[in-house]
Chains A and B, each alone.
Chain A
Amino acid sequence: MFGFTALGVLLAMALVLVRGLAGPTVYDRILAVNAFGTLTVLLIAVHGFLSGRPDFLDIALVYTLINFIALIAVTKFAKFAHLGGPFEQRSWSDV
């Protein structure tokens, strides 16, 4: 059962990779990267149960977290062409 799931996840990874390579717009690629990250998390979870050691799920947690931050960086770059902004003086209520 878990084997079939792993197979499905791997297949989906390959399809997502094709979409990421083919593009054509940057948004296709952003979606592809995000979906790939999610599939990686799924694969780790499935593999944990497949090998009878589901105690490494907190690694999957890191993947989700990191993928989220990387995705925000990519979308911000795609929209504003830099990562550091806003630079103007701001109110201190956000700190």
Chain B
Amino acid sequence: MINISLLMIMVATALGLVWLRNLLAVVMFSGIFSLTAASLWVVLGAVDVAFTEASVGAGIATVLGLASLALTRTEHEKRTRVFHLPALIVVLVTGAALIYGTLDMPGWGDPDAPIHTHVAPRYIEDSLAETGVPNIVTSVLASYRGFDTLGETTVIFTAGVGVLVLLGRGRRYPVANPRVAAGGGPGRAPAAPGSEGAAVPGDSGEMRFKAILRVGGKLLIPPILLFAFYTQAHGELGPGGGFQAGVIFASAFILYALLFGVPMARAVAPASVLRGTLALGVLIYAGVGIAGVLLGGNYLDYSVLAHDPVHGQELGIILIELGVGITVASAMMTVFFVFAGQDPQQVD
């Protein structure tokens, strides 16, 4: 009942996303979509996924969407009302093929489905004895599927590096950056009449007088950081882990940057430090694997890290989760600082 209602809300939100032309509203609605998806994961019992969806999809993605909107300087999608028949046919055929593909899938909750008979029983029965970690999601993610997670962490690292390479020098050499230069050129789309976002750039000094927000935000930052550490440390016992903790940790800095400006936040977390920690996390992860090889095991086999295999597994999982958390936090902070740190006055 709750499932169906949430799915209907998701469909309505998705249709709204297609229908809306105001890009600010689109960004906000994608946040709503993520929130609905996250509550659906909770209802279905996938709390770790819900945790990630809530922190990444509803939080960071919204903030980054707004930051990129600020860089493009346009709030309205261009209206193209051309009826394109081949495109419609392609979409319909693909959709029909996808729906046809689902017909062969086993029913929801079917105990004989391959996913419930292949490796899942082994994880459920043996993972606690083999790794000593009560949260099966964490033991699968960090130990059994350690290679996959190393790949994911590397993807996040690469994303951070990519943003740095493309936009990282935008503030120092504003004209050398084609994207920013195009946004500030004479041909840029004028702000739509009546849009509340068309404030004069540079009047953000007003933020100085938002005393309640600033004091309230400052008071919130320590609990947010503490909660990030709790999520990091608690990932073995309950929902949580490096990905979520990294995002929550970064969101504290993003909150600070929103309230006091990116230059102030940059003073707390300098670019040179973030570049180092961005690589450090992946290095820790890969280093744990190398340490396993040196101690006579396979790559990313944690059993050889300590005298007791179970203890070694726990140690390895804690270390690689730490690496994931460091890289994710640095990547999120880097991307936000670079996106939001483009000074509109310098860009103009």
Contact = CB atoms under 8 A, between A and B. Distances in A.
B154 interface: no
Interface residues of A, number: 54
Tell me what chain A mostly uses at the interface: helix, strand, loop, or mixed: helix
Nearest to B19: A21
B156 interface: no
B47 A70 contact: no
B202 to A, nearest CB: 8
Nearest to B20: A21
B199 interface: yes
Interface stretch (B54-62, B276-284, B288-296, B305-313): B54-62
Given A66-B58, A67-B58, A25 B196 contact: yes
B24 A66 contact: no
Contacts of B204: 80, 82, 85-87
Nearest to B24: A26
A59 B50 contact: yes
Contact of B205 (A23, A63, A69, A86): A86
B13 to A, nearest CB: 7
Nearest to B191: A81
B36 A40 contact: yes
Nearest to B17: A21
Given A20-B32, A77-B70, A80-B199, A90 B264 contact: yes
A90 to B, nearest CB: 6
Interface string A41-82: 001100100000001101101110111111011101111111
A66 B59 contact: yes
Contacts of B238: 55, 58
Across the A-B interface, give the 4 residue pairs with the lowest CB-CB distance, nearest first: A85-B204, A66-B59, A84-B340, A82-B70
Interface of B: 2, 5-6, 9, 12-13, 16, 19-20, 22, 24-25, 27-29, 31-32, 35-36, 38-39, 42-43, 47, 50-51, 54-55, 58-59, 62-63, 66-67, 69-70, 73, 191, 195-199, 201-208, 213-214, 217, 220, 224, 227, 238-239, 244, 248, 251, 254-255, 257-264, 267-268, 339-345
Given A21-B20, A81-B73, 17 more contacts: A20-B16, A33-B31, A43-B39, A56-B239, A65-B220, A67-B58, A70-B62, A77-B24, A78-B24, A80-B204, A82-B201, A83-B66, A83-B339, A84-B67, A87-B202, A88-B205, A90-B264
27 contacts: A10-B9, A20-B16, A20-B25, A21-B20, A26-B22, A59-B47, A59-B54, A62-B51, A65-B227, A65-B248, A66-B54, A69-B59, A69-B63, A72-B255, A73-B62, A76-B258, A78-B196, A79-B206, A82-B201, A83-B63, A85-B261, A86-B207, A87-B263, A87-B345, A90-B260, A95-B264, A95-B267
